[in-house]
Amino acid sequence: MFYVVTGAAGFVGSNLVRALNARGERNILAVDNLERSEKFSNLADLEIADYLDKRDFLDRLSAGQFDGTIDVFFHQGACSNTMELDGRYMMENNYRYSAALLEFCLEEEIPLIYASSAAVYGGTGNFREERACEAPLNVYGYSKLLFDQLVRRRIGEASAQIAGFRYFNVYGPNEQHKGRMASVAWHFFNQFRAEGCVRPFAGSGGYADGEQRRDFVSVEDLIKVNLFFLDNPDISGTFNVGTGKAQSFNDIASTVVNACRIDAGLPRLELADLHREGLIRYTPFPDALRGKYQHFTEADTSALLSAGYRDSFMTVEQGVGRYVEHLLRRASS
- Residue pair 144/120 in contact (Cβ under 8 Å)? The answer is yes
Q: Are strands 247-248 and 213-214 parallel, antiparallel or unpaired?
A: antiparallel
Output the CA torsion sign for 310, 157, 139, 75.
Answer: positive
Q: Alpha carbon of 94 to those of 24, 174, 179, 214, 233: distances in Å?
A: 30, 21, 19, 24, 24
**What is the phi/psi pair of residue 269, to 5°?**
-120, 150
DSSP 159: S
Q: So which residues are the catalytic ones? A: 140, 178
CA nearest to 117, candidates 217, 234, 204, 9: 217
- Amino acid 259 reads A
DSSP 219: H
Measure the CA–CA gap between 77 and 48, rounded to whole angstroms. Answer: 17
- Residue pair 13/38 in contact (Cβ under 8 Å)? The answer is no
- Residue pair 311/139 in contact (Cβ under 8 Å)? The answer is no
What ranges make up the beta strands (E) of 213-300? 213-214, 216-218, 237-241, 247-248
CA nearest to 190, candidates 316, 38, 331: 331
CA nearest to 66, candidates 34, 36, 105: 105
